[in-house]
């Protein structure tokens, strides 16, 4: 294990919270500043859309701008301008994003039967709402965590017949995806772009959609704040002493994890 060359953080619940009004608290600012001075780049890896992520970055008022951005848990952007609050400053990694979109087009074509199964299941479970922005089922919103647990059980069974089908869960929200596209694979692609090994990456996250990047395959140092879901805490604990579960919430917890592995 060596110097941390890349910090990869989730956004909501990891950098900020509603309690913090989306702002970067002073403890986190100090930790970010320290890891930056140590030479690390910063990737924000989120399930937010590009526009929503940019709004969040603007509201965050971090001491410096992230260098890379992953949105929708799958599309990669690199900052090429100073002003991270402008969409024009974010350049897509074209090869990755285009292939990603193509794989998802194919997924919906070859797995129409799987999505029909989802539609049938939703019809008899009114506690979940399908999200179909362009006539295809992109995701689901559930009325509670337990309703989402039920849906996840159903989807895990469905996946046995449709192995390319995967999903990203973030609390009561879920987005369908191709199994090759998640926060772990996007982190790997960014690491390749920079030319660094997983052993020099610190990843921090709090929810189910962070599980794939919170893995020694993709990051040598793993951090989660105390508000993390039990599955995330369990996975980070497995990687001790290079996995750290903070006793502090949100940005304060992430800051504590950064300090721990920076020293
Ligand atoms: Mg989160």
Task: Give the start-to-end residue ranges of the domains of the chain.
Answer: 6-93+182-262, 97-178
Ligand 1: distance of its center to the CA of 113 in Å? 31
Ligand 1: distance of its center to the CA of 73 in Å? 11
Domain 6-93+182-262 has CATH 3.30.870.10: no
Ligand 1: distance of its center to the CA of 102 in Å? 27
The region, left, alpha or beta by phi > 0 then psi within -120 to 50, assigned to residue 17 is beta
Compute the mean pLDDT over every residue in the chain, rounded to the nearest whole number. Answer: 96
73: pLDDT strictly greater than 80:
yes
Ligand 1: distance of its center to the CA of 263 in Å? 25
Ligand 1: distance of its center to the CA of 12 in Å? 4
Q: What is the pLDDT of residue 130?
A: 98
Ligand 1: distance of its center to the CA of 58 in Å? 18
Residue 109 CB: number of other CB atoms within 10 A? 8
Ligand 1: distance of its center to the CA of 139 in Å? 17
Q: What is the pLDDT of residue 1?
A: 57
Strands (E), the chain: 6-9, 41-45, 68-71, 75-79, 90-92, 128-131, 139-142, 165-170, 173-178, 201-204, 221-224, 243-245
pLDDT in tens, 179-220: 999 999 999 999 999 999 999 999 999 999 999 999 999 999
Q: What phi and psi, each to the nearest 5 degrees, are found at residue 112? A: -55, -35
2: pLDDT strictly greater than 70:
no
Closest-CA residue to 14 (of 259, 261, 262, 246)? 246
Percent of the chain's residues with pLDDT above 90 = 94
Q: Mean per-residue pLDDT for 62-87?
A: 93
Ligand 1: distance of its center to the CA of 110 in Å? 31
Confidence of residue 29 (pLDDT cuts 50, 70, 90): very high
Ligand 1: distance of its center to the CA of 149 in Å? 17
Measured CA distances, 94 to 22, 53, 76, 102 (Å): 30, 19, 8, 12
In the block, residue with structure tokens 């609390």: 171
DSSP states along 92-133: E-HHHHHHHHHHHHHHHHHTHHHHHHHHHHHHT-TTEEEE-T
Tokens of 253: 């917890």
Q: What is the pLDDT of residue 161?
A: 98
Ligand 1: distance of its center to the CA of 10 in Å? 6
Ligand 1: distance of its center to the CA of 232 in Å? 11
Ligand 1: distance of its center to the CA of 109 in Å? 30
Is the pTM here over 0.85, yes or no? yes
**Taking CA 254 as the corner, what is the angle to CA 182 and CA 72, rounded to the nearest 5 degrees?**
25
| d(C-alpha 55, C-alpha 199), whole Å | 31
Residues, CB-to-ion distance under 5 Å, ligand 1? 10, 12-13, 206-207
Ligand 1: distance of its center to the CA of 15 in Å? 8
Ligand 1: distance of its center to the CA of 98 in Å? 26
Q: What is the pLDDT of residue 134?
A: 86
| d(C-alpha 214, C-alpha 63), whole Å | 25
């Amino acid at each position: 294990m060596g110097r941390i060359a890349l910090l990869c953080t989730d956004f909501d619940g990891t950098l900020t919270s509603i309690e913090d009004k989306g702002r970067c608290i002073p403890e986190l600012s100090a930790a970010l500043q320290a890891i930056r001075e140590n030479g690390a780049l910063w990737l924000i890896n989120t399930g937010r859309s590009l526009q929503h992520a940019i709004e969040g970055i603007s509201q965050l008022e971090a001491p410096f701008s992230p260098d890379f951005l992953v949105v929708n848990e799958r599309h990669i952007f690199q900052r090429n301008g100073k002003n991270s609050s402008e969409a024009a400053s974010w350049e897509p990694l074209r090869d990755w994003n285009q292939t990603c979109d193509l794989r998802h087009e194919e997924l919906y074509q070859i797995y129409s039967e799987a999505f029909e199964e989802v539609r049938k299941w939703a019809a008899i479970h009114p506690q979940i709402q399908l999200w179909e922005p362009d006539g295809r089922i992109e995701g689901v919103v559930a009325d509670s965590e337990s309703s989402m647990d039920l849906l996840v059980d159903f989807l895990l069974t469905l996946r046995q017949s449709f192995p390319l089908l995967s999903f990203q869960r973030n609390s009561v929200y879920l987005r369908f995806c191709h199994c090759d596209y998640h926060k772990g694979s996007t982190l790997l692609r960014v690491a390749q772009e920079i030319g660094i090994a997983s052993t020099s990456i610190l990843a921090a996250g709090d929810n189910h959609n962070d599980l794939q990047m919170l893995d020694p395959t993709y990051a040598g140092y793993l951090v989660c704040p105390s508000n993390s879901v039990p599955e995330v805490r369990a996975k980070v604990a497995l990687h001790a002493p290079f996995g750290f579960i903070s006793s502090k919430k949100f940005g304060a917890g992430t800051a504590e994890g950064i300090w721990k592995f920076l020293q």
